[in-house]
Structure 1
């Protein structure tokens, strides 16, 4: 039984709200419709201002200052975040000092870190510090102003504290990854902390699911060349514009 146009578009928007991005071929299978029909639906929804079409699918409409709260973030792209998190943890070596910034992408790393008791973790995430303590990972929580929406500790005190540390690796969430504008986030205070951390690290990793690619937020963290992108995106036509990429398929090796 064919799905009506209104029903198809309702399903598309529901998937978009859940994941932040939808892929054309996934929609074709789920809706049991032709590629041309789904493309037409995406075009109509874009004309209505409900999404923006991208290569191979569509994304949510975002602004430079868009910043979902931690509750909303925790329900989006859960599977992708777990895959990226697994790949991230595989980069950590024995006895290293690691920084995890506050966020749901880095929080997803913690279940894979229960055998890393020789690692020291520094974080500005209150929730992350608690969960790391639960699995007996030695953790240092930096002090400063607590940002209610993301549960991140930010501000000048954090930046000054970070300058006294050195890290083997840092892992950071990001709201936008763009070939021209680099890694970005909506909040200048969080961007300042991320820049300070990156400056004190041997290597910096940015965890970004496919919905973050080709997006731009208000505050710049760094150029693409200054970090390694960890992503679930596998389409090489999309990834060709990004430097230093590690994909989730590597986590299965």
Structure 2
């Protein structure tokens, strides 16, 4: 059995039972204990599970994330300004990844008339791009109801088919020590993969995200350029670590 297939079986069984024993996974996948131990180590490193004595358990979600609709009505003016600035980095002929989020969705009107290809994990963004007749690829994966995003291991595997010039991502927390963070490990995995596959990555974050830490780490601050709208003193500290573009 291929590694990908074993990982899918392990995660499926965890979603059903919340905790599984090593022996059970050995029987389920017809694999050796050493192979399953390696699989659990890999999946733990990716934030899917936590290893416990004799098996594994799902990682707990420690915070409730606002829904897509709730986020859409927050900091609207700042989001539009950030989106407008971010869109100026996109040139004709580029391939672009737009991460699920309300600030990244606000970029879509500024792409009207541009000759670009877009990859996204967001159903709302895909619909908006369709209305503008922009060539769009939607990755596969589990549909997360609250954010209307496609996330998880299958989403990551789907993303591996693409390489893009620029990636634009939303985020929940921007912190000097924790870096870029988000509540859901499965969503964090997709964001991390997008950064890795892009020639250049941008994080879009309004002032409310500074100094915040969410459960799952996406990347260190230096992994992406930060596009923001902020007068916060945090900006000067972040500028010593990574490039910051202020949309003000």
Q: TM-score range by the shorter chain?
A: 0.7 to 0.9
Does the 8 Å contact 1:70/1:151 carry over to 2? yes
From 95, 103, 106, the counterpart of 2:104: 106
Q: Deviation per CA, 1:149-188: give whole Å up to 9, x if none.
A: 0000012111011112111000000000001110000000
Q: How does 1:81-96 map to 2 (within 5 A)?
A: 81-96=79-94
Whole-Å separation in 1 of the counterparts to 2:124 and 2:64 = 22
Q: Is the 8 A contact 1:99 1:167 kept in 2?
A: yes
Residues 1:108 and 1:216: Cα distance change in structure 2 (over 3 Å): same
1:240 is paired with a residue whose SS is helix
Instruction: Report the equivalent of 1:142.
Output: 139
Deviation at 1:224, TM superposition (A): 0.3
Deviation of 1:234 after TM superposition, in Å, equals 3.0
Q: After superposition, where does 1:9-28 map in structure 2 within 5 Å? A: none
Q: 1:130 aligns with which of 127, 130, 135?
A: 127
Contact kept, 8 Å, 1:100 with 1:122, in 2: the verdict is yes
SS of 2:181's equivalent?
strand
Query: Using a 3 Å threshold, how does the CA distance of structure 1 residues 64 and 233 change in structure 2: closer, same or farther?
Result: farther
Q: How many residues matched?
A: 185
| 1:173 matches 2:170 | yes
Deviation at 1:67, TM superposition (A): 1.1
Residue 238 of structure 1 is matched in structure 2 by 234
Counterparts of 2:216 and 2:79, CA distance in 1? 23
Match of 1:219 in 2: 216
Runs of 5+ unmatched residues, structure 1: 1-62
Shift of 1:64: 5.8
- Partners of 2:125 and 2:234 in 1: CA distance: 32
CA shift digits 1:206-225 (9 cap, x unpaired): 11000001111000000000
Quote the Cα distance in structure 1 between the aligned partners of 2:99 and 2:89: 16
Mapped contact 1:168–1:202 kept (Cα < 8 A):
yes
- In the alignment, structure 2 segments of 5+ residues that lack a partner are 1-60
Query: The residue matched to 1:131 in structure 2 has which SS?
Result: helix
- Choose from 72, 83, 86 the match for 1:74: 72
TM-score (norm 2): 0.72
Q: CA RMSD in A?
A: 1.3
